[in-house]
Amino acid sequence: MGGKKIHLASGDLWELSRLQHGIVTRAQLIERGLTAKAIAHRLRTGRLHQLGGGIYAVGRPDVDQYGQWMAAVLSCGPKALLSHRSAAALWGIAKTSRELETEVVVPGAIRRRRQRVRLRRRVDLSSAHRREVSGIPVTDPISTLVDLASCVVEWRVEKAINDADRLGLVDPETLRAEVNGLPPRPGMACLRRLLGCDALTDTGLERKFLGIVRDAGLPLPKTQAWVNGYRVDFYWPDLELVVETDGWAHHRTPGEQATDRRRDQAHTKAGLTTLRFAEKQVRYEPQQVKATLSAIMHRLLLAQDGLF
């Protein structure tokens, strides 16, 4: 009778390990009828390999990246979730390295240490944040992006936002709306800045750009003029130059981007030169904007004089 029980438990065990990327916990082994003696026997015969913290690899000691992630989450308790850079890698919006510790978030009350696991604690962690990817418990895409913004450079966060949009995980408009309703935590300020949650108004962006034009000693343009059937932000008719400043909250969706391309193509077809500057450039890179605008205007003036 006992032998039959172990046989059935073993079959169940292999199926469980398949679903968990070759990983099982001691608690799961015991739930399936294995005694401490049976577990020890499997360790001696190489059917189980201890990875630490009551976590075992089934059949072979080496596990792939998914197995490492699963082992890290299972070792931290039933409410643990893969998080930060590890979660972003699992979602496919960031790269990871097996040299890095696996990052796992747990409810704030839990205190435990695990080898090669970087434990993060969050008091407000709930089931609403939980998702599963390839069977691995992981933070939802929005939480993952907030967490990622707290630990990597800004351009990597921006790329992750774009990748999340491309993969259909969350679009920038939905992300912006959700972030505005979240309580403050690390990463939030960076993400809000990238998403333009504190963006300048159209009027404020216009004033900022005109300040750069004046500072460069360049002639002032017409503003909000109609050109080729479109209203443009800035227009120098003598130079046949159009400049558009793209605010944070606009020009994000495929439809808006397609409209922008049609506008630019209409101006190019009519022989105009069109420049676009993102709000980020106008706000944080004014010297680069000034240099670019000055160079283009100089080239257009030389072309008018037949010197270029």
Q: Identify the burial level of 218 via C-beta atoms within 10 angstroms of its C-beta, where 0-12 means exposed, 13-18 middle and 19 or more buried.
A: middle
| CATH architecture type of domain 202-304 | 3-Layer(aba) Sandwich (3.40)
Render pLDDT for 71-95 as a digit per residue (tens, 0 to 9): 999 998 889 999 999 999 999 999 8
Q: Average the pLDDT over 275-304 and give the result.
A: 91
Q: Is the pTM of this model over 0.75?
A: no
pLDDT in tens, 112-134: 667 788 988 887 788 888 999 99
Residue 260 CB coordination number (10 Å): 17
> Alpha-carbon distance 114 to 258, whole Å?
49
d(CA 62, CA 68): 9
Question: What phi, psi does 11 have (nearest 5°)?
Answer: -60, -40
Residues of the chain with CATH 3.40.960.10: 202-304
Query: With pLDDT > 90 as the criterion, what percentage of the chain qualifies?
Result: 44
